[in-house]
Structure 1
Amino acid sequence: MKKYQLGEFEEIVLLTVGVLYNEAYGVAIKHEIENRLNRKVSVGALQSALRRMEKKGYLDSRQGDSSEKRGGKPKRFFTITAYGKEALKYSKDVRSQLWDAIPEVALDLKVV
């Protein structure tokens, strides 16, 4: 079912939008990913992923109120769509099936 395939970063961004729920805007998403995954995220890569997933129908966005703190520029808030939820479910199911298919002996390794 290729229509739901997500790249790793797209999956992380979608999950993070879900974690942040009504507070999912660019800077908050970036900080949440960096804090939870101890991974640097470039603003450009994040914005590209958000726009790409919005175009694919995985995300919706709405413009927030403008503020003086942001020089009058409003925040853009993101939410997961029903299609985005299906993409995440598909991704989770595929990963679970693969984990379940690994023979126990294959993971019976000792750290050296």
Structure 2
Amino acid sequence: MKKFKLGEFEEIVLLTVAVLDENAYGYSIKEEISTRLGRSVSIGALQSSLTRMKDKGYLTSRKGEGSTARGGRPKLYFHITAHGMQALDHNKNVRLDLWNSIPSKTQQLSYD
């Protein structure tokens, strides 16, 4: 299982990069997570997670064009790799297996 070790935040970031496709850069990832999950994300935590996932081979990055709004610095765009998709698929299957293993009497519990 360590082959595809992903923490919850890493999984959310990786899923968000996949969803944003060609438009996945730091700020857009942060905003998408905030919008979809109602969760605030610090840029520092996001950058650390992106770096870790690049090191694991789950992501690649490329520099975009520089802009005057960014003081000439280019945006860094992220793309999910095949290995990253395998990690997401593995996590999804592990979770589905657990969900499908919940006994029916437990599934029928009321959560009013």
Normalising TM by the smaller chain, what interval?
Answer: over 0.9
- Superposition deviation, residue 62 in structure 1: 0.3
Q: Look up the SS of the partner of 1:61 in the other structure.
A: strand
- Superposition deviation, residue 2 in structure 1: 1.4
Aligned equivalents of 1:109 and 1:43: distance in 2? 40
2:86 matched to which residue of 1? 86
CA-to-partner distance for each residue in 1:7-30, whole Å, 9 max, x for gaps? Answer: 000000000001100000000000
In structure 2, list runs of 5 or more residues that go unmatched: none
Correspondence 1:111 to 2:111? yes
Count of aligned positions: 112
2:71 matched to which residue of 1? 71
1:8 matched to which residue of 2? 8
TM-score under structure 2 length normalisation? 0.97
Correspondence 1:51 to 2:51? yes
Runs of 4+ in 1 over 3 A off after TM superposition: none
1:25 matched to which residue of 2? 25
Aligned equivalents of 1:109 and 1:89: distance in 2? 29
Identify, as 1 or 2, the structure richer in strand: 2
RMSD: 0.8
Aligned equivalents of 2:42 and 2:90: distance in 1? 27
Percent identity among equivalent residues? 58
Aligned equivalents of 2:56 and 2:2: distance in 1? 13
Aligned equivalents of 1:80 and 1:4: distance in 2? 14
Aligned equivalents of 2:110 and 2:84: distance in 1? 38
In structure 1, list runs of 5 or more residues that go unmatched: none
